[in-house]
Amino acid sequence: MRNPRMKGPKISMELTINKARLSLVQGDITGQATDAIVNAANSGLMGGGGVDGAIHRAGGPAILEECRRIREKTGRLPAGKAVITTGGKLKAKYVIHTVGPVWQGGTGGEAELLASAYKESLKLAADNGLRSVSFPAISTGAYGYPVESAARVALQTTIDFLGQNQSLREVAFVLFDSYTYRVYTDVLRELMPNMESTR
């Protein structure tokens, strides 16, 4: 059930990196109107729970159909990789599906795989001429990645990418619950202490 206090997206912080806006939003990623939203998918690309299931439900069968074709052609999607499909009925025109790592205590290369998931998604957006993209907190749900560690990887990877790439104009992190939203805010403030706060 939707949290009644979440009336709509609320931007708490934003900063500009190389002409691109990086923002944190508390809300539901399925309602974002960016060119693409990113799906925290499983390697089978057949939908699932959490963000994955919500995106497939909101976007309708066209997304699953394209995922099925991709899987038939290339097999399962490994952790750290990304593919793009239609957005179906979503406001976003595209969905970028990426697979984050399952947390194994930090000794299984999780940070590198998580950074790759973000980097590959951003690169796919840029390569397809997209200007804006929204991310969830990849791997922090059923895959068990600690939120603070995940936020650090996600935000630093995005900051580094935007510093080197001028094609994207907006990257939003859309965080569904207040705890994750607060942790990402704290980490972003730590990484970019001179950023502009709009809260």
Q: Residue 8: pLDDT above 50?
A: no
Q: Residue 195: pLDDT above 70?
A: no
Identity of residue 62: A
Question: For 137-176, how does the pLDDT look when each residue is reduced to its tens digit (9 = 90+)?
Answer: 999 999 999 999 999 999 999 999 999 998 999 999 999 9
The domain spans of the chain are 15-191
pLDDT band at 192 (very low <50, low <70, confident <90, very high): confident
Average pLDDT for residues 15-42, to the nearest whole number? Answer: 95
Instruction: Write down the pLDDT at residue 70.
Output: 96
Q: Residue 26: pLDDT above 70?
A: yes
Question: For 99-133, how does the pLDDT look when each residue is reduced to its tens digit (9 = 90+)?
Answer: 999 999 999 999 999 999 999 999 999 999 999 99
- Provide the whole-model pTM: 0.91
Cα separation, 161 vs 156, whole angstroms: 9
- Quickly count: other Cβ atoms within 10 Å of residue 100's Cβ: 27
Q: Is 52 noted as a catalytic residue in this protein?
A: yes
Contact 18, 26 (CB under 8 A): no
**CATH architecture of the domain covering 15-191:** 3-Layer(aba) Sandwich (3.40)
Identity of residue 113: L
Instruction: Write down the pLDDT at residue 48.
Output: 86
- Exactly one of 28, 35, 52, 127 is catalytic; name it: 52
